[in-house]
A and B are shown apart, each in its own frame.
Chain A
């Protein structure tokens, strides 16, 4: 046999091995449950179910689920997920649910890799609006409108499922609903005789007093960039008004609107006043947060998903948890914003993959999950679900109840800018936020870059 004949054989073998490697785990529909992944210890519970039964309802089914609440950083959420899965498997002995758990940023990356090879898990988590769009356009998510007509009808807070709707179809069911208050350390405020500010002038007085006394006023980890975006969004909301901000993000109004430019200027004024902890642009959100948790910084702006750490999480000293209060972002004198308008919106939601081999089973699991999550997340995790909460019948921490009431009073809730925008515009927005805080761009350049990026995406 000559060399020429061998070469193609080797090439073909090489290709097929490479392809087989990529295709691993593609037909999970009838995979054996014995290969359960770490984290779902109860996964083999269904192994004893009769395998030979011909009825379709008894057919063994494995649903793959991917989520972003690892045991370490989201302990409470992780516990509930495992609990719900266990309950579901007990009720449906023919179903096995396999989990894959990743941390937030890794989760986002893996979603993209899996989408590119069309290997999404049967059930997974997604964000709303701009993040969701490419997946829907690529026909990867299944519409779940039928679930909204069933048991879950009228269970959601209004405005939450809408954020997951594209062209009239809903592609995911939200689990969380968040608003973003400014948390503050009551002890520090008492020590310097300060009270929670209601106007921006008062807020600046607070900042001034704290810096004079050597306390970092605001904890911020702006390496993650969306953290700084929250501050800009609030200033923009209070100065230019919610409508202008919302229109600018969707491209209807230029970011060169006087109010929006003014907001960018105010951000830089805060930086000049040393309002944020030192080196914030090089710190991650977790590092920034620890400045607040260890009492070195007095204020911290974050979504209500952070509530467990200030109410129920036993790993954080009781003394500290008791000293955390919150205030609404103050109004700016002469601004168009309303103190009851918030930055926030639905967090992650559950999707069902369009090409899942077990679509119907996955859908009924999602329905069950959302329902149980709505009940359990309130009492066990202390986070606010996207489904309506009945506060009368259960004992809840005061901080939680106060924020829930604020949420019900909200005049408008503007969805996080980086979630609303398309991926490439969101990336520009986030980079520009870091540059603005680092004083690498002027407010005008900041506005220019936004307009350019948003126009390019349309």
Chain B
């Protein structure tokens, strides 16, 4: 008896919070998605009308494509972080200092980063265009106002923002590898490439898989930087699913539709997580020691 009570007591606070702040709101969002509701008046049950409208909504698909592009981009940039981590974990001078430098963007809030990059991308007074003009480009692009460039322009601060986080994870994983393995490989005549790809990478594969899920799903639900920097514009050209949800619910006063978008996003994230876990699943994890 006492044992079970104790377990319940310890679990309760976290359970209450998770239920109240996550699972119950999710259930409510799912319900709102099936209604027509402006957030104030009565809710009208309309079944799956919101979802069928969603499937025909070209702006929604555009924002979904942008979210996927961002997710793909984030996964590719993991490669870059991994290379940096590999270099840092080797015996190079100043690795400690560099690691701290890479971590700084992560310590800034997204809004601060957005403000910073807004100044950099400013079409006339920005650092970037000032440099381009002084290099002789007469008519540099207006980055955040250019519908064909804006999405890629925003990717850069996102890449920069998360660099520290992933480099730190990889660095910690790489430092966990016993140095005896590296020494043994070197005695056997392996060069630096072989040590990195044949010894180190297989050993941190589990960590890499986790970061892929984190990066992919994190990108699908990405919101803050885009909201502050462009608010999804111009003309929805940097709209992602989460910002579209916000616009529908809080700007167009259509909570029902916004909830449907939100619920759809949840499902997409769950499916993506499951697919990635499946695709990267291996029967036996490699262990040398």
**Interfacial residues, chain A to chain B (CB-CB below 8 A):** 1, 3, 6, 10-11, 13-15, 17-18, 21, 108-109, 112, 115-116, 134-135, 137-138, 140, 222-223, 225, 277-283, 287, 291, 296, 422-424, 427, 431, 434-435, 438, 440
Contacts and interface: CB of A to CB of B under 8 A. Distances in A.
A435 B145 contact: no
Interface in B40-93: 40-41
Given A112-B253, A279-B142, A283-B123, 5 more contacts: A14-B20, A138-B41, A278-B142, A279-B123, A440-B235
Interface string B5-24: 10010011001100111001
Nearest to B8: A6
B12 A424 contact: no
B251 interface: yes
Contact of B236 (A3, A423, A431): A431
Interface stretch (B101-109, B169-177, B226-234, B263-271): B226-234
Contacts of B118: 287
B271 to A, nearest CB: 27
Q: How large is the interface on B (under 10, 10 to 19, 20 to 34, 35 or more residues)?
A: 35 or more
Given A279-B145, A434-B233, A434-B235, A10 B12 contact: yes
A115 B253 CA distance: 11
B255 interface: yes
Contacts of B255: 116
B221 interface: no
A451 to B, nearest CB: 17
Contacts of B231: 223
Contact of B39 (A15, A115, A283): A115
A279 B124 contact: yes
Contact of B24 (A15, A109, A137, A222): A15
Contacts of B280: none
A18 B19 contact: yes
23 contacts: A10-B11, A10-B12, A14-B20, A14-B24, A15-B20, A17-B16, A112-B253, A115-B39, A116-B40, A222-B234, A223-B233, A225-B233, A278-B123, A279-B122, A279-B142, A282-B142, A282-B150, A422-B253, A423-B254, A424-B254, A434-B234, A438-B145, A440-B235
Nearest to A225: B233
Contacts of A10: 8, 11-12, 15-16
Contact of B21 (A13, A18, A115, A427): A18
A13 B19 CA distance: 10
B8 A134 contact: no
Contacts of A134: 38-41, 253
Contacts of A138: 38, 40-41
A279 B5 contact: no
B252 interface: yes
A21 B20 contact: yes
Contacts of A13: 12, 16
Contacts of A423: 38, 251-254
Contacts of A427: 247, 251-252
Given A223-B230, A278-B142, A279-B143, A3 B4 contact: yes
Contacts of B163: none
Interface in B119-159: 121-124, 142-147, 150
B1 interface: yes
Contacts, number: 123
Given A15-B24, A18-B20, A282 B235 contact: no
A440 B239 CA distance: 15
A147 to B, nearest CB: 24
Contact of B19 (A14, A135, A137, A435): A14
B274 interface: no
> Which 6 pairs across A and B sit closest by C-beta, in order of nearness?
A279-B123, A18-B20, A282-B145, A279-B142, A282-B144, A138-B40
A18 B24 contact: yes
A108 B246 CA distance: 13
Interface in B217-247: 230-231, 233-236, 247
B233 A137 contact: no
Nearest to A277: B124
A413 B22 CA distance: 48
Contacts of B147: 438, 440
Nearest to B144: A282
Contacts of B143: 279, 282
Contacts of A281: 142, 145, 233-235
A18 B18 CA distance: 10
Nearest to B247: A427
A225 B252 CA distance: 14
A369 B19 CA distance: 44
Contacts of B145: 278-283, 438
A137 B41 contact: yes
A291 B254 CA distance: 35
A301 to B, nearest CB: 19
A330 B258 CA distance: 42
Nearest to B20: A18
A431 B235 contact: yes
Given A279-B144, A281-B145, A140 B253 contact: no
A434 B247 CA distance: 15
A175 B281 CA distance: 64
A296 B40 CA distance: 44
Contacts of A438: 145, 147, 234-235
B123 A296 contact: no
A140 B39 CA distance: 12
Given A13-B16, A431-B235, A434-B234, A282 B123 contact: yes
Nearest to A115: B40
A115 B249 CA distance: 13
A291 B123 CA distance: 11
B235 A287 contact: no
A283 B229 CA distance: 9
